Amino acid sequence: MYNTLASPTHHDTAQIEQQLALFEPIRLDQMKDAALLDRVDRKYILTLGQLSSVLNDLTPDYRVLTVNQKRLNRYQTVYFDTPGFEIYHQHHNGFPDRYKVRARRHVESGVMFFEIKHKTHHNRTIKARVPISGAQMQITSEADGFLGANSPYRACDLEPKLWNEYQRVTLVSKARPERITI
């Protein structure tokens, strides 16, 4: 038998939404200073109880991204990789210099981007992106030039490999260019 992390229940989601309602809102157009396309990422795993405690502590110092009155925002993403999963294997094996290539739709705003994330050997994450329209299941010739300019890959090297949907909370510091995504 395997231990698995349980998905949040409706009750858990409602509790998180109640806590998020205590945060001051921030709109997408106000987040220019927190775009952080060149950054250092830190990742943590929390229980729902720990998350609740952290949200209480952050309420006075952070604002929550609010799009169309929603604070739990939905995302749909398609990840591209080589036929042999080169990008995945580089990530899994901790290569110090690696890429992610994806198309992402921000559901509430309808905004879509073709994105390339480069994790450098200096432990920085540099994200380049261009707006796109329509379903992005193939890399267009326009995006191919962008891909070649920002990564070692070409459109002919990559194919769609992974599709996911999730909800995310984005908190933005009131005092410095810092963002927390949950």
SS3 content of the chain, % helix, strand, coil (to 5): 25, 35, 40
- Distance in angstroms (rounded) separating the CA atoms of residues 53 and 50: 5
pLDDT tens digits for range 1-21:
344 455 667 778 888 999 999
The whole-number pLDDT of residue 3 equals 42
Rounded to two decimals, the pTM is 0.82
- pLDDT tens profile 29-74: 888 766 656 667 788 999 989 999 999 999 999 999 999 999 999 9
Sign of CA dihedral 100, 102, 107, 113: positive
Instruction: Compute the Cα dihedral for 169, 25, 32, 78 and give only its sign.
Output: positive
Residue 144 in this model has a pLDDT that exceeds 60 = yes
pLDDT at 80 over 90: yes
Question: What sections of 135-180 are H helices per DSSP?
Answer: 141-150
